[in-house]
A and B are shown apart, each in its own frame.
Chain A
């Protein structure tokens, strides 16, 4: 177990190294994307360019540049933006991360509970009207673009019906830190949570239903019935428990990519200064240090989430534990 853990950790470090080299190569070593030209501004003289190049270390060899960047990113943590001179990159990411984590964490709680409920109900009443209604609702949820849904939510709760009793509690767009006001944090995020969760409730509910329907045809379900267990126990303890394996692997990947910046559209629509938005701005300005920082942050999350999924896998399925 400890050996497997260490091996996993080694893999994680290796993957992160690979990603950092790749990102560095794309942004710093691509011909035509000379960062010093951007920093120096339009029509700068060759002397200015050379000065900038020397100041930022772009005249050094690639491995040295890479090492300097990594040192500034991870050890001294004083990597500064190229665009807003003097603005440090790491605090910016650390400032955006709680926003994204609050958004995605809350949405994940909603989508896990709602989709388990939806998938289980639909599988239990397979072929009934409820099953069909739930599955169509899921399909609609998947089809609604999140930016459109967010704008519609805003239209009603921020302007049209904002003064009605139903939505007068909705605060203006933006983020309220949990430490400032837990209630304000909840109020500010509950609509973004639901909006972001809709797509995933649809996907997960449908996937879980299909998986559960297949599982309920298995021999061990027949055995559980033959044991005289109640239908609810057969469905939940034997059916759902076995189906959770697929669900968890799907969840780990989606959760990681959202925390890593994939919730960009939701963040933009609801005015949340999260990691997705930060990455977008960094790319739009070609602010290479910021790009580097956000991509590394995102990679750390995806890789960590994958490691976590593997561990959860082993917890959920004893066959994985034994390497079978």
Chain B
């Protein structure tokens, strides 16, 4: 796509052993300082995609396709070279900050460990950096948090510490896997604001993985929707959340299942019938066709990704059939 991109994933395939590809030909790119929201239900392959980018797919996993990072092909690198990038230029934060921090070490120690693994800093500057990072996360008393153990902190503080750790080596790309799912709603908003602010301060691009369209609508610049290991739709946020947006039937279903604050109250929230298929039982054509109200015989062959508008693409034959999707 473009050499400017921080991350350029093309035709990514992830599978285990002799099983089918759980991530099946996923492509997207992230520009510098951009926040890309990768949306999907659990099992859609979004977390596997992030682990493939990190190089953390456990054996007997196999990863195919291309993952370009700032012009370097990650899949061609040795394990040692990838490890040097991991935590240094590509960092990741996880869903549950309680279980994602080692329980027996102090927060400050855990952040310093990552700095020491990548940067040649002596003890004092490392300590200073840890405290600076924690205050940059909006923590009022960084000294107390640095000397605390994970269980002594609230969920919000833990997630802030986790983000501080991820940003400790000024990464070009921050992968946030459901960073707010395990948090209280008020804390969720704070963490999202923090990610927005840090994108400017630390100049990191962000791959935000979530099942929550609300989160994406709040902070993502662009959105990619995954369904059953494939990209269903990708485009700018405005193109998907506008009043008369035209979207993929699956995205339309997701949007329709969110209760609205404004406008007439609907009698009953719409739900997508059925449940997402197991990747092994994926139909030969469009994976969403068994649940799609618009499915026809033409959906039995895999739909190509077609442009729908300005940088907005969907994997559906529908726009060629009906220009106006069944969505407000």
A318 to B84, CA, bound (A): 31
Q: List 13 A-B residue pairs with CB atoms under 8 Å apart, sorted by A's residue number.
A: A218-B99, A220-B103, A226-B56, A227-B165, A228-B87, A228-B88, A228-B117, A229-B83, A241-B104, A242-B102, A318-B103, A318-B152, A319-B149
| Nearest-neighbor residue (CB-CB) of A221 within chain B | B102
* Closest 3 pairs between A and B when the two form their complex, measured CB to CB: A228-B87, A228-B86, A219-B99
Set of chain B residues within 8 Å of A229, measured between Cβ atoms = 83, 87, 113-114, 117
Q: Is B151 engaged at the interface, CB distance under 8 Å to the other chain?
A: yes
B94 at the interface (CB under 8 A from A): yes
CB < 8 Å: which of B99, B114, B162 contacts A228? B114
* Residues of chain B contacted by A228 (CB below 8 angstroms): 83-88, 114, 117-118
Q: Which residues of B contact A238 (CB under 8 A)?
A: 102
Q: Shortest CB–CB separation between residue B164 and chain A, in angstroms?
A: 12
CA distance A241 to B101 in the complex (A): 14
With A219-B94, A242-B104 in contact, is A318–B151 under 8 Å at CB? Answer: yes
Q: How many residues of A contact B (CB 8 A)?
A: 22
A245, closest chain B residue (CB): B104
- In the complex, which residues of chain A have a beta carbon less than 8 angstroms from the beta carbon of B103? 220, 242, 317-319
By the criterion CB–CB under 8 Å, are B104 and A230 in contact? no
Is A222 in the interface zone, CB < 8 Å from B? yes
Judged by a CB distance under 8 angstroms, whether B100 is at the interface is yes
Q: Are B92 and A226 in contact (CB under 8 A)?
A: yes
A227 adjacent to B101 (CB under 8 Å): no
A223 at interface (Cβ–Cβ under 8 A)?
Answer: yes
B91 in the interface, Cβ–Cβ < 8 Å?
yes
Q: Does B212 contact A (CB under 8 A)?
A: no
Distance, CA A218 to CA B113, complexed state (A) = 19
A70 located at the interface, meaning its Cβ lies under 8 Å from any Cβ of chain B in the complex: no
Interface flag for A322 (CB, 8 Å):
yes
Whether the Cβ atoms of A226 and B87 lie closer than 8 Å is yes
Max chain B Cβ within 10 angstroms of own Cβ: one of A222, A224, A227, A233: A227
- Please name all residues of chain B whose beta carbon is closer than 8 Å to the beta carbon of A227 when the two chains form the complex: 86-87, 113-114, 117, 165
A223 and B101 contact, Cβ closer than 8 Å, known pairs A228-B117, A229-B113: yes
What string of 1s and 0s marks CB contacts (under 8 Å) between A307-322 and chain B? 0000000001111001
Does B170 sit within 8 A of A, measured CB to CB?
no
Cβ of B86 and Cβ of A225 under 8 Å apart?
yes
Chain A residues at the B interface, C-beta cutoff of 8 Å: 218-220, 222-230, 233, 238, 241-242, 316-319, 322, 324
B151 close to A220 (CB less than 8 A): no
Closest residue on chain A to residue B96 by CB atoms: A219
Rounded to whole Å, the gap between the CB of A259 and the closest CB of chain B is 28
Q: B217 within 8 Å of A by Cβ?
A: no
Of all chain B residues, the one with the shortest Cβ separation from A224 is B102
Residues of A within 8 A of B113 (CB): 227, 229
Give residues in B with beta carbon < 8 Å to A: 54, 56, 83-88, 91-92, 94, 96, 99-104, 113-114, 117-118, 149, 151-152, 162, 165
Expressed in whole angstroms, the Cα–Cα distance for A322 and B162 within the complex equals 22
Contacts of A225 in B (CB 8 A): 56, 86
In the complex, A83→B83 CA distance in Å? Answer: 72
| Bound CA span A106–B226, Å | 60
Instruction: State whether A223 touches B85 (Cβ < 8 A).
Output: no
**Shortest Cβ gap from A108 to chain B (Å):** 23
Q: How far is the CB of B121 from chain A (nearest CB, A)?
A: 15
CB of A129 to closest CB in B, whole Å:
16
Q: Pick the contact of B83: A219, A223, A230 (CB < 8 A).
A: A230
Contacts of B118 in A (CB 8 A): 228
* Cβ distance A147 to chain B, nearest Cβ, rounded Å: 40
- Complex CA–CA separation, A228 to B84 (angstroms): 6
A225 nearest in chain B by CB position: B56
How many angstroms from the CA of A227 to the CA of B167 in the assembled complex? 10
Distance from A216 Cβ to chain B, minimum over Cβ atoms (Å): 10
The distance from the CB of B11 to the nearest CB of chain A, in whole angstroms, is 24
Asked whether B104 lies within 8 Å of A317 as measured between CB atoms, the reply is yes
- Report B-chain residues with C-beta under 8 Å of the C-beta of A224: 102
Contacts of B91 in A (CB 8 A): 226
Contacts A227-B114, A228-B114, A319-B149; is A222 near B104 (CB within 8 Å)?
no
A318 CA to B113 CA, complexed, in Å = 18
Question: When the two chains form their complex, are residues B54 and A220 in contact, meaning their CB atoms are under 8 A apart?
Answer: no
Q: How far is the CB of A219 from chain B (nearest CB, A)?
A: 4
- Contact across chains for A316 and B56 when beta carbons are under 8 A apart: no
Q: How many angstroms between the C-alpha atoms of A107 and B238 in the bound complex?
A: 70
Q: Looking across the interface, which residue of chain A has its beta carbon closest to that of B59? A: A127
Across the interface, which residues of A come within 8 angstroms of B104, CB to CB? 241-242, 316-318
**Residues in chain B near residue A324, CB distance under 8 A:** 151
Interface centre among A220, A229, A233, A316 (most CB of B within 10 A): A220
Write out the residue numbers on chain B whose beta carbons fall within 8 Å of the beta carbon of A322.
149, 151-152
